[in-house]
Amino acid sequence: MAKWPYNTTRWTKLRAAKLRANPLCEYCATGQVTPATQVDHKQAINKGGDPWDWDNLASTCARCHTNKTNREDGGCFGTSRNKAVDPATGRPLDPDHWWNDKISQG
């Protein structure tokens, strides 16, 4: 299985089923009715969450999904990531950086 399931038919079907079953944001405040447009992994895949487990999924609006992601890992441009590079090679020092995955795969 690929590390990220998002470009698979299986994910597309699971996501659509989740949004049909729970069409409102599960994270919005009680009493607030907001249509869900996204599906979130409650426990992130890169932190051990099962990408296919129905109980690990939440229907969510874009605002709540972004807020949760930013709160947990600083978002896609989060400051919590090590952005330093090796001055000799220019390679990222963060072992989890996508470029290091690319190099290790050859």
User: Same structural domain for residues 45 and 93?
Assistant: no
Q: How far apart are CA 28 and CA 63, in angstroms?
A: 9
> Are 2 and 53 contained in the same domain?
yes
pLDDT for residue 23: 97
pLDDT for 1: 39
Model pLDDT, residue 32 = 87
- Looking at residue 106, its pLDDT comes to 52
pLDDT at 83: 64
pLDDT < 50: residue spans in the chain = 1-2
Domain identity same for 91 and 105 = yes
pLDDT at 12: 96
Is the pTM higher than 0.75? no
Is the same domain home to 60 and 13? yes
* Amino acid in position 45: I
Please state the domain count of the chain.
2
List the domain range (segments joined by +) for residue 89. 79-106
Give the dihedral of Cα atoms 46, 51, 54, 56; nearest 10 deg: 0
